[in-house]
Structure 1
Amino acid sequence: MLTKTGNVDGAAIKKAIEGRDGKLLSSFYTDDALVRVIDRNNPPSRPREIRGRAAISTFWDDICSRAMTHKVDTTVAEGNNLAFMQACAYPDGTKVYCAAMVELKNGRIARQTVVQAWDE
């Protein structure tokens, strides 16, 4: 949850991701936030870019609606930056691992970069 000051923190991220709560996750972002996803299909030279809270909400709703588990392993905060590691698993055993770096602005997520790897 957001603290009384409205700041996003590691505990809030962990609760929302592990609870598959896309609505809560979306509430953490600024209106003009940017999420960049880097993976096999979206290399660093052409990352997937998701712009604005509405598009980010659709992104999280899709992820949270999937039959899979999410576990946030580690969160680290320093100044206006928050990083976390996330391990996911589908019922068929396929695993996904993500590392995310978040830049906060006034306690909300303004920029996020996600690097993820999937079992193949």
Structure 2
Amino acid sequence: MADTTSGTRFDIEAFRRAVEEGDVRALVSRFADDADMETVDRRTPPSAPTVIQGRDSIEDFIREVYSMDLDHEVLDYVTDGDHAAYTERCTYPDGLTVKSISMLDLSDGEIVHQSMVQAWDEESPESVRIGDFDASDERMEFDHGHSEVVHLGGQNINRLTLEPGWRWSEHLRPDIGTDLCMLTHSLTLMQGTMRFRTSDGVERELKAGQVAFVPPGHDAWVVGDETVVVLDRSMDG
């Protein structure tokens, strides 16, 4: 472990404890109000990273991470003036591991930018896994819809049920706090029809039986009078 703090008020040791203990309030307090968090992995390459803007949105993301059944361990960390870096290992009960490396840009002792690169085990120690959406304890209700999540082989598989009239910018934007959805989605539409509009104004329609990759920076809505059922796959961590 290296700690070369030089003229910064950022307490890297307290930050490490918060990461390992899952102290969400302490972690969030380290970020500036207008901070952003950028993540690069296999699904979101450097040309299209996931970017989360603002401390409130970062808090939502951190709370989601710590709602998962994971052990968090900081393997190494270092600070130097207005920068800090650390490596983290997250382990599921079955042994599947996610490892990340983060760079922090600091100003007046607060994080103003976090850049994270992460990778995970390609295969689970178990060859076959079965999940059940109906038995999921991660069900979330929201206006005009609900979601259920199962975790399999390092993936979050989210089943979204969206009622006619649902639109991301109307029903989720007030809680998320960004103008557009800044997550990356790999979707399989099981029922109904959806449309997406990206930040450059391009619209695409997705029908039942089709799959889609949707980059960060988009709006989405249900088309017609049929309820939409969609599977959204993303990687844990």
TM-score using structure 1 length: 0.92
Q: Which runs of 5+ in 2 are unaligned?
A: 1-7, 123-237
- 2: CA distance between counterparts of 1:82 and 1:112? 10
What secondary structure, in the 3-state scheme, does the structure 1 residue paired with 2:44 have? coil
Equivalent in the alignment of 2:78: 76
CA-to-partner distance for each residue in 1:63-92, whole Å, 9 max, x for gaps?
112111010011111110000010110112
Aligned-partner residue type, residue 9 of structure 1: D
Q: 2:55 aligns with which of 47, 50, 53?
A: 53
Q: Distance in 2 between matches of 1:79 and 1:7?
A: 9
User: Which of the residues 30, 33, 36 maps onto 1:34?
Assistant: 36
Match of 2:107 in 1: 105
Over alpha carbons, which structure has the higher Rg?
2
How far apart are 1:93 and its partner, in Å?
1.2
Gaps of 5+ in 1: 1-5
More relative contact order, 1 or 2 (CA 8 Å, 6+ apart): 1
Aligned residues: 115
Match of 1:87 in 2: 89
TM-score normalized with structure 2 length: 0.47
Larger helix fraction of residues: 1
Root-mean-square deviation (CA), in Å? 1.2
Alpha-carbon offset, residue 117 of structure 1: 0.2
CA distance in 2, matches of 1:104, 1:43: 24
Secondary structure in 2 matching 1:58: helix
Report the secondary structure of 2:48's partner residue.
Answer: coil
Task: Answer yes or no: is the 8 Å Cα contact 1:7–1:107 preserved in 2.
Answer: yes
Identity %: 38
